[in-house]
């Protein structure tokens, strides 16, 4: 049926009826959930339900007669494919401008058209951070009124039906394998809390809770975390969730953790509220969390959470287990590429879906506990869709075309892997076209530039981003996404951020991706992604060098050696030895 006649049209009508009952002119629908997750299961996502857009990031703004979907460059094509122009206007957010900023500008434009600049704007306090809400409010005229709606018009329109929740499956992590006990992490945290005059810290990001607790879970798809909120002090970690779901072995092994229902956590905060200062992060907690602290009588103090910085710098033990996980992922991806090329060369029919299924099964066979994101299996022109996600993926993969595989998984310690390889489908005798080789080699030159970079201590991600883009810029090419993101318990972790607006300072011990690409709708897409870390070049630490951590082989059939410098050729030879050394 036409998209305008799909269930989405009826859902929009139902939401607008609820908006009228709740007396709001505009409703903001976030892509996240109350845990500030990036990957919200499709059947739980309010934004997916109301728009039909299934990408991980995208913000919806609804008015009485119009609907807007703001997406970044990764999802421009997908958003157009999954929504109807009769129902939604896709706001294509350019690189360097965040989705929140785009929504703020959209709200400003709507207010300018309203009578006397007056708009009644509804928002979900459990799905917006205080910093984002402040951005929205400061961008609109003072005549606008803001209404926290809980439940929101979308949730009311959806009704009570929900999928049965997955059991948390909380498990222990060997603390020797991650280099620090819960008690040691809390002592480090206490120093930062004391410096800010705080008694405790509200923690809502699930990867922060998993990090502090040295626990992992499989309750959520594409994560190694579990649903909870927490309060951290200098010697105890209070985790709010259903205590019945916590195995006795977990309780016995974690003396510094007290598990309790969520209502009891707020009661606990309120017992000594008159003399308690509770820290919250304006970018890492929800507005509802801030309001809940104040409702207990405690003082809510805005700080930058120390946990993010603690978590981002990996210790030696963490780097060791991450290298092991990345090595296993390298072998899975290399094996999957070999499998596909052999199948297609033998004239067997393999679809994008078949290949994605094979990759997932290969990860499971290698001991993975789950995927870190949905397998991106994009053949030919589909590679131009940066985060390609065709639900059917029944397209048959053909010999001689390019295949883009972006995939990752979790192993026992719960650190994400993330790797992208673009390769030529077919046997060794399959020849690449000149166009395929040119695009691939230009992307490769960018990847080499990043993975061989040396930057001064204190440099930001902007500097490294420019080094990676330089070979593509010189050829008149660019890509509409960041060059890299941090990787840890979540596949996207910040800091660091390697991007045109990546202001965070690069530090030794960060683990992050370098993933340049080229995306041409009439041709397809090429992306090469590797995970790296930073190490000092000398004892004084004045400069940092980028060190690759992933070594899955590159497709030599796609390399045009004439476009490479002598130094780049030497680097490639050394890089190729990395995979052989790991698998000797």
Strands of the 484-486 sheet, one edge to the other: 454-456, 543-548, 530-536, 511-514, 484-486, 493-498
What's residue 167's pLDDT? 64
pLDDT at 4 over 70: no
The tens digit of pLDDT for each residue in 188-205 reads: 999 999 999 999 999 999
The alpha carbon of 492 is separated from its chain's Cα centroid by a whole number of angstroms, namely 4
Q: Are 381 and 69 in contact (CB under 8 A)?
A: no
**88 compared with 274, residue with greater pLDDT:** 88
Judging by DSSP bridges, how do beta strands 530-536 and 419-424 pair with one another? unpaired
The tens digit of pLDDT for each residue in 415-445 reads: 999 999 999 999 999 999 999 999 999 999 9
The alpha carbon of 347 is separated from its chain's Cα centroid by a whole number of angstroms, namely 37
Helix (H) or strand (E) holding 95: none
| pTM, 2 dp | 0.94
End-to-end CA distance of the chain: 55
Q: Which residue is it, tokens 């360097």? A: 96
- Token readout for 66 is 């119009």
Q: What is residue 176's DSSP assignment? A: H
Report the pLDDT averaged over residues 28-50: 93
Q: Give the pLDDT band (50/70/90) at residue 1.
A: very low
pLDDT at 273 over 70: no
pLDDT at 243 over 60: yes
DSSP character string of 218-266: -SSTT-S--S-EEEE-SS-EEEES-GGGS-HHHHHH-TTEEEE-HHHHH
Burial level of 405, CB count in 10 A (0-12/13-18/19+)?
Answer: buried
What's residue 276's pLDDT? 86
Each domain of the chain, given as residue ranges in start order, spans: 3-158, 171-312, 316-582
35 Cβ contact list (under 8 Å, min separation 6): 204, 205, 206, 227, 229
CA pair distance 497, 513, nearest whole angstrom: 9
Architecture in CATH of 316-582 = Alpha-Beta Complex (3.90)
Long-range contacts formed by 279-283: CB under 8 A, 24+ apart: 279/193, 279/196, 279/198, 279/200, 279/201, 279/202, 279/303, 279/305, 280/130, 280/201, 280/202, 281/305, 281/308, 282/129, 282/130, 282/131, 282/134, 283/129, 283/131, 283/132
What's residue 268's pLDDT? 84
CATH level 3 topology of 3-158: Creatine Amidinohydrolase; Chain A, domain 1 (3.40.350)
Backbone angles phi, psi at 31, to 5 degrees: -85, -15
| Fold match flag (3-158 vs 171-312) | yes
- For residue 495, cis peptide bond before it (omega within 30 degrees of 0): yes
CATH level 3 topology of 171-312: Creatine Amidinohydrolase; Chain A, domain 1 (3.40.350)
Report the pLDDT averaged over residues 403-420: 98
Judging by DSSP bridges, how do beta strands 120-123 and 26-29 pair with one another? parallel
pLDDT at 2 over 70: no
What's residue 86's pLDDT? 95
pLDDT at 305 over 80: yes
Q: Give the pLDDT band (50/70/90) at residue 164.
A: low
What sections of 70-226 are H helices per DSSP? 76-82, 99-113, 130-139, 153-158, 175-178, 182-195, 206-213
CA pair distance 543, 256, nearest whole angstrom: 39
Q: Are 55 and 79 in contact (CB under 8 A)?
A: yes
What's residue 387's pLDDT? 86
The tens digit of pLDDT for each residue in 316-327 reads: 999 999 999 999
pLDDT at 165 over 70: no
Report the pLDDT averaged over residues 196-224: 95
**6 compared with 173, residue with greater pLDDT:** 173
């Amino acid at each position: 049926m036409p998209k305008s006649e799909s269930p989405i049209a009826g859902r929009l009508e139902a939401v607008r009826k609820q908006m009228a009952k709740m007396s709001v002119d505009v409703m903001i629908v976030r892509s996240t959930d109350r845990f500030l997750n990036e990957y919200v299961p499709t059947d739980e996502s309010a934004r997916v339900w109301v728009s039909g857009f299934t990408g991980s990031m995208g913000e919806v703004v609804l008015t009485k007669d119009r609907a807007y979907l703001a997406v970044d460059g990764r999802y421009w094509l997908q958003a157009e494919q999954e929504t109807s122009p009769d129902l939604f206007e896709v706001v294509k957010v350019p690189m360097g401008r965040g989705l929140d900023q785009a929504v703020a500008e959209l709200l400003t434009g709507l207010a300018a058209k309203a009578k006397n600049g007056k708009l009644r704007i509804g928002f979900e306090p459990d799905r917006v951070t205080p910093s984002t809400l402040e951005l929205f409010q400061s961008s609109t005229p003072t005549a606008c009124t803001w209404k926290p709606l809980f439940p929101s018009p979308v949730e009311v329109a959806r009704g009570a039906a929900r999928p049965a929740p997955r059991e948390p499956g909380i498990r222990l992590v060997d603390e020797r394998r991650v280099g620090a006990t819960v008690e040691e992490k809390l002592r480090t945290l206490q120093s930062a809390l004391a410096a800010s005059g705080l008694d405790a810290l509200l923690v809502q990001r699930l990867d922060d809770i998993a990090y502090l607790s040295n626990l992992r879970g499989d309750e959520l798809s594409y994560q190694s975390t579990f649903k909870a909120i927490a309060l951290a002090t200098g010697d105890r970690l209070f985790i709010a969730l259903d205590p019945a779901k916590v195995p006795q072995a977990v309780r016995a092994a974690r003396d510094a953790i007290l598990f309790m229902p969520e209502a009891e956590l707020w009661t606990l905060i309120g017992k000594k509220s008159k003399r308690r200062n509770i820290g919250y992060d304006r970018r890492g907690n929800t507005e509802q969390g801030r309001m809940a602290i104040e409702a207990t009588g405690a003082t809510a103090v805005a700080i930058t959470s120390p946990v993010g910085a603690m978590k981002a710098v990996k210790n030696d033990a963490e780097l060791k287990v991450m290298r092991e996980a990345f090595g296993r992922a390298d072998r899975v991806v290399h094996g999957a590429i070999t499998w596909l090329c052999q199948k297609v060369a033998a004239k067997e029919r393999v679809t994008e879906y078949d290949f994605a299924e094979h990759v997932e099964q290969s990860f499971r066979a290698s001991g993975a506990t789950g995927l870190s994101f949905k397998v991106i299996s994009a053949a030919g022109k589909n590679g131009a869709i940066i985060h390609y996600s065709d639900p059917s993926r029944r397209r048959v993969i053909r010999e001689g075309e390019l295949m883009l595989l972006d995939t990752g998984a979790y192993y026992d310690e719960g650190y994400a892997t993330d790797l992208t390889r673009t390769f030529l489908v077919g046997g060794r005798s399959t020849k690449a076209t000149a166009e395929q080789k040119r695009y691939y080699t230009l992307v490769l030159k960018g990847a080499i530039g990043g993975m061989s970079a040396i930057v001064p201590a204190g440099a930001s991600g902007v500097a490294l981003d420019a080094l990676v883009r330089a070979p593509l810029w010189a050829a008149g090419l660019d890509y509409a996404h960041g060059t890299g993101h941090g990787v840890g318990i979540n596949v996207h972790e910040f800091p660091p951020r390697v991007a045109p607006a990546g202001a965070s300072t690069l530090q030794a011990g960060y683990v992050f991706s370098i993933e340049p690409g080229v995306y041409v709708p009439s041709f397809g897409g090429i992306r090469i992604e590797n995970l790296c870390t930073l190490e000092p070049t000398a004892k004084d630490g004045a400069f940092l060098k980028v060190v690759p951590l992933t070594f899955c082989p590159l497709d030599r059939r796609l390399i045009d050696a004439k476009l490479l410098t002598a130094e780049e050729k030497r680097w490639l030879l050394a890089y190729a030895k990395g995979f052989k050394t790991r698998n000797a």
